[in-house]
Structures are given as C-alpha cells and as structure tokens.
Amino acid sequence: MTTAKLAEPLSLAHGPAWKNRFMLAPLTNQQSHADGTLSEDEFRWLTMRAEGGFGLTMTCAAHVQAQGQGFPGQLGVFGDEHLEGLTKLAGKIAADGSVSSVQLHHAGIRAAKGIVSDIVGPSEDADTGARAMTGAEVEAARDAFIRAAQRAEKAGFDGVEIHGAHGYLLAQFLSPELNRRDDEYGGSLENRARLVMEVIDGIRAACHPDFQVGLRLSPERFGLKLAEVRDVAAEILRQGKIDYLDMSLWDVFKEPVEEAFQGRSLMSYFTELPRGDVRLGAAGKIMSATDAVQVIANGCDFAVIGRAAILRHDFPRRVLADPSYVSPALPVTAGHLRDEGLGEVFIAYMSGWKGFVAEEGA
Ligand SMILES: Cc1cc2nc3c(=O)[nH]c(=O)nc-3n(C[C@H](O)[C@H](O)[C@H](O)COP(=O)(O)O)c2cc1C
C-alpha cells in the first residue's frame, strides 16, 4: 500500500488546485463570539490545520442569516461585521499554502432554541415549533446564501461549500417528510431540489469565475431517501456547475440503512455516478493512512477528515510521512486537545461526543 496518490495535487474546474487529496471537514466548535465574529481560538484552531498540510481548509458551518443560527458560538457570514475576521482567516490560510472555503449554513427548523426566537423551515414542525416559510422568505434565504458567498469572496476565500446535509435547511427542503409545501419548492423531487439548485446557480452567477463552489450532501436520516439523494447528486454532477461534491456518510465503509440497497457500501452509490470534471470526496471515520488510501482506491478524488484532524492538526503530513499512521486511541485528555490547538469551549463541546475526551481524574 502506498500513500503516493494522496500526495498528488487535485485540479478543479474553477479556482486553485489543492496541493493534495486531504480536505479538512467542516467542524462546528462554538468558539466564535456571540455576534458571529471570529475569535482568536477559532483562528488558531483552523490555521493550525492549514499549517498541518490540508489541501483544503474548510471553516465550520457558518450561518447565512441570523435566523439560521444552529449553535451558540457559531461563526457568522451573514453581515459585513464578519468581514474583518474572515479576511484575517483567509489571509493566513493562504499564507500556509492551503486553499480556503467557508461552509454556508442555515439550520432551518434545527435553529438554536433560546437564540433564535422565530424558527422557520419548509413546513411547520411540531417537534421544534417551527413555522412554514412564506415564498418570499424562501427567496430571502436563497439570496442570503448568495450574499454570504459574495462576502466570503470579498474576504479573500477561494470558495464556499453549500451545506446541504445533516437535516439543515437545504436538506429539509429535499426531505419529503419535512417538506410538505405545495408551491414550486415542494412536492416533486425536482421542486424539493429547487432551492439547492437556485443557490448553486445564484452563487455561480454572482461570484468570480474562479470562485470554487462545493456542495455537501448526506443521503440518510431526516426523511431522506437514498435513491432520491443519489438522483439529485447525479443531476448536479451532470450539470457540472459545482467543483466538488462532499458526501457526508459518517462511515465511508458502511452499508446503507435501507435494506433494498444493502450488499455494498453506501459510498459506492456515489462513486459510480458519472461526474465529468466535478471532484468527489467522502467523510466518515477516516482515522488512519490505510483508511485514507482506501477511500481513494474505492473511487473518491479526495478524503474528508473530521475527528482525525481534531486529534492531530497535521494528519495529512503524518499520513504522507508514514503509511502505517493511525490516529491516537480514544479517549484523549483535554491536555492533548489543548496542545492540538483546541480552546476550552471546543474541548467542552467535544466532551459531549461520547468517548472522545477522558474524564478528569479518569
Ligand atoms: C465536533 C463536530 C462538529 C461537526 N460540525 C460540522 C459542521 O459544522 N458542518 C458539517 O457539515 N458537518 C459537521 N460535522 C460532521 C463532520 O464534518 C464529518 O462529516 C463527520 O464528523 C464524519 O467524519 P469523521 O468521522 O472524520 O469525524 C461535525 C462533526 C463533529 C465531530
């Protein structure tokens, strides 16, 4: 087994090539200021990953409207007050030789209770108390994604990733369970996919031709049907307007939950799609050099690294230096995470992920 392929640069249809096949996954860390401006802790966490050798350094999910905030301490990209911090961040990531991207996010019905008072989504939702968006509000959310991309471009980012995964607003529209609208944004799959398509088109039209546009999708949970998500992905790959598709699978080696699709990996339903010049990556439990090599061998163009990048800021550098590299065993101490550039708020957040951080005195 060799890691040589992982070291190869990745060219994309628009914007700069990545120097290798490693993308830092978007990782919410709650370290921003209450108004969404960047903090020193968030700057340090991300720029250490750029220094650690990631070809693409992605921010955490950043909300495009105040109403779309999903977490306390979330990074904002909804106002010009965010430009100063974002500009400083983009500059340092570039200086470290990494391509930069902001993940554009709207939480929809999953907005943070206690922070967002008027929670909205495609349809009303009894569990969260969300109300259905009016047609004008859907258009305003779409335009907010586009304006946020322009803001990221102005700040000097190489591109953005549209967060269409994990049951947030764009995935809520895709879901036949959560989207029960009877206007042009609901009903048929084409209508349910209209919002994400309009966001892609709008960003392409509003930003510079060299601006790199990615899309993140996840194919399971939140009422999504694998066959439908595969069809949406196939159409987006066919249109070739995005530069890369980032499939969030939570485990790149697992089989689908839906029985009819079992017998092979969930990832294979996406690697087999014709993709033209669009690049494909996947995230989920890539914890070692072997795992990263396998993801490429199984048909992806790049590997998306989440928890292994929290554990070691220089996962790419370590993998490329040592084909037998394996992430540190869990749980790790708070001290270990501190040394890897996590602030106290992020360490506390990771303590909520079962088995990740060792309890004090344990
Ligand atoms: C602490 C934490 C925060 C995350 N935040 C985001 C996020 O902001 N946006 C997103 O799309 N996914 C988010 N995810 C999902 C990751 O990007 C990734 O897809 C997932 O963790 C699986 O990859 P891994 O097994 O390498 O961690 C988060 C995951 C973790 C563990």
pLDDT digits (tens, 9 = 90+) for 131-163: 999 999 999 999 999 999 999 999 999 999 999
> Which of 22, 23, 24, 27 to mutate for ligand 1's pocket (most ligand atoms within 8 Å of CB)?
27
Going by pLDDT thresholds of 50, 70 and 90, the confidence category of residue 175 is very high
pLDDT for res 361: 59
Residue owning the nearest CA to atom 30 of ligand 1: 27
CA–CA separation, 49 vs 57, rounded Å?
7
| pLDDT surpasses 90 at 359 | no
Interval 109-127: pLDDT, tens = 999 999 999 999 999 999 9
Q: What is the mean pLDDT of residues 160-188?
A: 98
| pLDDT surpasses 70 at 355 | yes
Q: What does the block give as tokens for 183?
A: 């206007």
Residue owning the nearest CA to atom 23 of ligand 1: 284
pLDDT for res 360: 75
Q: What does the block give as tokens for 230?
A: 């595969």
**How far does residue 182's CA lie from ligand 1's centre (Å)?**
33
**How far does residue 8's CA lie from ligand 1's centre (Å)?**
25
pLDDT for res 92: 98
> Which of 104, 160, 248 to mutate for ligand 1's pocket (most ligand atoms within 8 Å of CB)?
248
DSSP track, 283-351:
ES---BHHHHHHHHHTT-SEEEESHHHHH-TTHHHHHHH-TT-BPPPSSB-HHHHHHTT--HHHHHHHH
Going by pLDDT thresholds of 50, 70 and 90, the confidence category of residue 1 is low
**How far does residue 185's CA lie from ligand 1's centre (Å)?**
28
**How far does residue 248's CA lie from ligand 1's centre (Å)?**
8
pLDDT for res 248: 98
Closest CA to 122 of 185, 62, 215: 185
Interval 296-326: pLDDT, tens = 999 999 999 999 999 999 999 999 999 999 9
Q: What is the mean pLDDT of residues 69-84?
A: 98
List the domains of the chain with CATH numbers: 4-327 (3.20.20.70)
Amino acid identity of residue 125, one-letter, is D
Ligand 1 atom closest to the Cα of residue 165 is 11
What sign for the dihedral angle of Cα 140, 142, 143, 149?
positive
pLDDT for res 319: 98
Kindly report whether the global pTM for this prediction surpasses the value 0.85.
yes
Going by pLDDT thresholds of 50, 70 and 90, the confidence category of residue 338 is very high
**How far does residue 25's CA lie from ligand 1's centre (Å)?**
6
Residue owning the nearest CA to atom 26 of ligand 1: 306
**How far does residue 306's CA lie from ligand 1's centre (Å)?**
6
Interval 4-53: pLDDT, tens = 999 999 999 999 999 999 999 999 999 999 999 999 999 999 999 999 99
pLDDT for res 217: 98
CB 282 within 8 A of CB 303: yes
**Please, what is the average pLDDT of the chain?**
97
Residues with CB under 6 A from ligand 1: 25-28, 60-61, 103, 163, 165-166, 216, 248, 250, 283-286, 305-308, 353
**How far does residue 288's CA lie from ligand 1's centre (Å)?**
17
